[in-house]
Amino acid sequence: MKRLTYFLLLILLLFAIIPGCGSPPTAPLEGPLSPAGPPSPKVSQPGAASTGVVTAEVLNVYRSPDPGSEVVTQAIYNQPVELIQDLGHWSRVRVVDGYLGWVVSDSISHDVSSLRPPGADRRAVVLAKTQDVYASPDTSGVHGQRLLEAVMGTELYAVGQDGDWYRVSLPGDRTGWVRAGGVSLLPPGAAIPRTDAEGFIKALEGFLDTPYLWGGVSVRGIDCSGLTYICSRVSGVELPRDADQQYGRGTPVAGGLEGLRRGDLVFFRHTEESGPITHAGVYLDGGRFIHASGIDRKVTVSRLDQGYYSKRLVGARRIF
């Protein structure tokens, strides 16, 4: 009997420390939290001392220099990273969303000329879910091959123009061409223009059915706070990367469900009773909200006024 008691206690302990990420009936822990520890430390923006640039379209940032470790967040093409430590195949970096982690070294270039190339007078910010970058504005010929698929939030500097095509600087001392549709052309140092709640929702809805990926921020896979983070950013509002920190931004929404408006951020805890905020979504209408669901394993629309999420709703914040 004593052995059975110890065994049952061990099972209960394991269930207490292992978060359920997306499998019902356990709540999905949506922010990049360690399965056995606290969040990755937040750090400052990349500095100029030792800067690299991301050459992968989407780059996993791992907690440890091991592809089997947790993906804490992702960096995207042409983003700067601060280089902290070089282990040869792996590099420890700080990325623009504030996370510290490990990336495959071959996905980082030490040539950072694409971050502010000479003669660049505009910055092309990808607002579409994806935007193709070509070798030439003549996409029908052999020289018009696609070079890469830039994901939402990618920023490239324009160094030339041919009609509605823009020549952009790429890492590795290369250039490519993007079409005006799907990108916003801004002065190099200008903030992304603020849209409104409907523009925010349009960006979110473009991700419907995108696979859920812990730590993801793109169409290749995305988590709940990654979805609100990247869609708010291209809508002109800067949010922190994690759901619990996003809850501290904007204006608190009073009045419960009746007080909600389209575009309001809604937040949830892991359990019904108490605990930290671990999930975020965006209110649509009629009790519906859009989110990257760890339960459904995709970006989907669920209901606030019944079932699982109604019992875990903490509050809402208005950012538009």
CA 313 to chain centre: 22
Could you confirm whether 224 is annotated as catalytic?
yes
The b-or-e profile of 64-75 (16+ CB within 10 A means b, else e) is: ebeeeebbbbbb
Angle of CA points 107, 70, 225, to nearest 5°: 90
SS3 39: coil
Identify the sign of the CA torsion 231, 235, 241, 244: negative
* Distances 166 to 60, 134, 135, 144, 235 between C-alpha atoms, Å: 28, 10, 11, 14, 22
The angle subtended at Cα 147 by Cα 142 and Cα 98, nearest 5°, is 175
Alpha helix (H) ranges present in the chain?
Answer: 2-17, 197-205, 224-234, 243-246, 307-310
What tokens does 262 get? 């389209």
- The single residue of 21, 143, 224, 231 carrying the catalytic annotation is 224
> How many CB atoms within 10 Å of residue 11?
10
279 carries an active-site annotation: yes
Whose structure tokens read 């009773």?
273
Distance, CA of 7 to CA of 170 (rounded, Å): 57
| Catalytically annotated residue among 21, 231, 270, 279 | 279
Residues 6+ positions from 128 with CB-CB distance below 8 Å? 152, 181, 182, 183, 206
Q: Which residues are catalytic?
A: 224, 279, 291
